[in-house]
Amino acid sequence: MNVRILRQLTPTSPTRWEGFNVDVTDDMSIAGLLDHINYNDDIFDDQGNLTTRIGWECSCLQGACGACAMVVNDQPVLACETFVRDLKGSTIEIRPLRKFPVVHDLIVDRSSIHENLTSANVCIESYDPNETGSQAKLVKRQRHQYEIAKCLKCGLCLEVCPNYTNGLTFFGALFANDCYLVAMRNKSKAAEIKALYGEHFGRDCSKALSCMDVCPAQISTISSMAHLNR
Ligand code: FES
């Protein structure tokens, strides 16, 4: 199969597409495919030219850390969770996430995600033991909170968001979900969260909701929005 990868040596180098002919199998993941290309000491492109190892990030290889987020055939995905059998066509096109500055090849600088969350101070301090409501409502709420806690902060939701631009004041779906989590777990922060949610999410979200289509943890951002708005 022909695999095309958008390469960029350093943050300031020009970008270029490089092709590789790879013997793929249906059960190979994109992470496995990148490892396969990087495996040999000498790596050749599809023109027979000697080239360098492809830069990409991974850690868990089981969809739990978010490190391997990238764009494959125009879809923002986790490389370790995306398999060749799920892709259409005879070419695989891989590029880095487009909303973040490129560090090297498929590695991007996503530090703005953490800077945004830290600057807004949305972190859980303690569980509120006085949370009230019927048992059924509590269970439903806690289930949603557990779901949000699975957020990988991988940035795929920001990749597809028509309103997100790195460095601007709109922080995206992962911020809205964390706002809900903090507001529910720490009622003393509710007023502060209300202001932050409005400023960094509520005011600019156009409700395209494509974030929910690509979230590897399948977090229902619209539920968080509904709770927060209420
Ligand atoms: S390597 Fe952790 S999500 Fe892919």
For the chain, which residues make up each domain, given as ranges? 2-108, 111-229
Closest CA to 94 of 76, 119, 120, 67: 76
Among 7-11, 108-112, 148-152, the minimum mean pLDDT is found in: 148-152
Check residues 117 and 210 and name the one with the higher pLDDT.
Answer: 210
Neighbouring-strand partners of residue 169: none
Q: What is the per-residue pLDDT for 137?
A: 72
Task: Kindly state if the Cβ of 80 falls inside 6 Å of ligand 1.
Answer: yes
Say how many Å lie between the CA of residue 125 and the centre of ligand 1: 27
Q: Find the range with the poorest average confidence among 33-37, 138-142, 192-196.
A: 138-142
Q: What is the pLDDT of residues 139-185, one digit of tens each?
A: 777 777 778 888 999 999 999 999 999 999 999 999 999 999 888 87
| pLDDT value, residue 186 | 80
Encode pLDDT of 198-210 as tens digits: 999 999 999 999 9
Largest CA distance in the chain: 67
CATH of domain 2-108: 3.10.20.30
Q: Is the minimum distance from the CB of 217 to ligand 1 under 6 angstroms?
A: no
Cβ 108 under 6 angstroms from ligand 1: no
Whether the CB of 212 sits within 6 Å of ligand 1: no
* Ligand 1 contact, 124 CB (< 6 A): no
Ligand 1 atom closest to the CA of 61, numbered from 1? 1
Ligand 1, atom nearest to 68 Cα: 4
Question: Nearest 5°: phi and psi at 220?
Answer: -85, 90
Give the residue ranges of DSSP H helices in the chain.
Answer: 30-38, 111-119, 135-149, 156-159, 173-185, 190-197, 210-214, 221-229
Average pLDDT, the chain: 90
Class of domain 111-229 as given by CATH:
mainly alpha
pLDDT confidence band for 129 (50 / 70 / 90): low
Tell me which of 190 and 38 has the higher pLDDT: 38
Q: Give yes or no for residue 67 CB within 6 A of ligand 1.
A: yes
- Asked whether 60 lines ligand 1 (CB < 6 A), one says yes
Distance CA 182, CA 179 (A): 5
Two domains, one topology: 2-108 and 111-229: no
pLDDT tier, 12 (very low <50, low <70, confident <90, very high otherwise): very high
Residue 91 has pLDDT above 90, yes or no: yes
pLDDT at res. 112: 93
Mean pLDDT computed over 9-17: 96
Ligand 1, residue 78: give the atom nearest the CA: 4
- Which atom, in ligand 1's list, is nearest to the CA of 152? 3
* CB contact at 8 A, 7 and 54: yes
